[in-house]
Amino acid sequence: MYSSKSASVTPNIIIHGGCGNIKRQNLPPDAYRAYRASLLVILDSANSKLRQPGAKAIDVATFVVSLLENDTLFNAGHGAVFTRTGTQELEASVMVSRGYRKRGVGVMKLSHVKNPILLAKEMLIRGNEDDGGGAQGHVQLAGESCEQLASEWGLDLVKPSYFWTKKRWAEHRRALGKSTDDATYEKNRQAIDHGHDGSSLGVADGIVTSEPFSNPTWDSKDYLPQGTVGCCVLDSEGVTCVATSTGGITNKLPGRIGDTPTIGAGFWAEEWNVSSGSSSRPYHAASPLTRMLDDCLPSLAGYLRLPSQSEGEAEFTRPSFRAVAMSGTGNGDSFLRLNAVRTAAAIARFASQAPSSLVASSDSHTSLQAAVTAVSGSHGMLQQSAEDRWRKTGEGEGGIIGLEIDGASGSSTVVADFNCGGMFRTWYDADGKPQMMVFKKEYEV
């Protein structure tokens, strides 16, 4: 991909800590303050790293996600949710707009790799070797193959019990109507390191002690995590990177693969050449051929705009670039069905907004914010995909964060939207001040 950095690029960053049925009623002030403090500290650490000469987006994005994986507040790494049988299967991914042969990779079904995001990073970097450093040309790997490579590459490995926290285990058990006492927790935690899971610990452990949730993966009152953690970074070279990690959906079935390690579904980064003339995505008056195609293929009407000039008549302009990076969070099955994040990128790249007058606007491309809102905002594509199951099963819930870069000016825009109760997110505003929010409006402590 050709990229011309026609202006100095100001680095930028946005981070999320997951989304879902988060309400003021289930996020008490103490919990809010804990999330806020953690995210702002991580944002500051990342910014210090990003401002260093030669800092690379991939290093900063994966650094951020590794910190989130180490923080028990978040559904990733140490603090990940449990499967229905009491195990944990971790997933992570990383993708760049340019610079690496594979561009993006996903790893999944991990139970021993301390920081799954660092395994994804290593797999992407080693992809520039002819044999992929042992991963060949693969961009997705699961389970034992991943963990064997992690061992060969010198990454930290841990016992499965490292990822356990009482909070996540209790959420998992309460949803199934099972006991959450300390003795049972310790019994299960010790057994997991010997290859046992909740389904093989004996009949007594499986006794239902309370009314199970009608849906063990989602509840209308409690916040059962089904999201991820993620980070989008732009470095001074104009390269974008997105890194994402998760434990998946609370009480998912073992073996379930979500959107987090699936390229295009839960994450995406790319750049493309555009004219550096008056418009990065020029709108042309409809030609007879365009009108005919619009009549015959109306689904293309919002995407297809054919030039009114012939190639020979077109004025030469110096190419520049646009770039985007996005990380999704929420109900991964819904993201998978829509290929949600790539869909948002495609809207931003290919959909033109016709100006009301051909001389009234100098820029007719669809903004990434508009594209993200179309997919993950209220009444957007994710919500619509749930149909009559909306707010009953957790389907369709989700949010997306991202960065949009204009290569001609070197400027970037932070974007975010979500359709559910809340999404933990942090970024720097236009004045360079750190911001952290959960809901659409400020949380009043």
Q: So which residues are the catalytic ones?
A: 228
CA distances from 261 to 27, 96, 241, 331 (A): 28, 14, 15, 14
SS3 readout for 273-291:
EEECCCCCCCCCCCCHHHH
CA–CA separation, 76 and 67 (whole Å): 10
CA–CA separation, 413 and 174 (whole Å): 41
Q: Which residues contact 230 (CB under 8 A, 6 or more apart)?
A: 15, 16, 65, 242, 243, 244, 245, 267, 327, 328, 329, 401
Q: By C-alpha distance, which of 353, 375, 374 is closest to 364?
A: 353
Q: Which two tokens stand for residue 341?
A: 């994040």
Q: Is the dihedral of CA 122, 123, 126, 128 positive or negative?
A: negative
What DSSP string describes 20-74? ES--TTTS-HHHHHHHHHHHHHHHHHHHHHHTSTT--HHHHHHHHHHHHHH-TTS
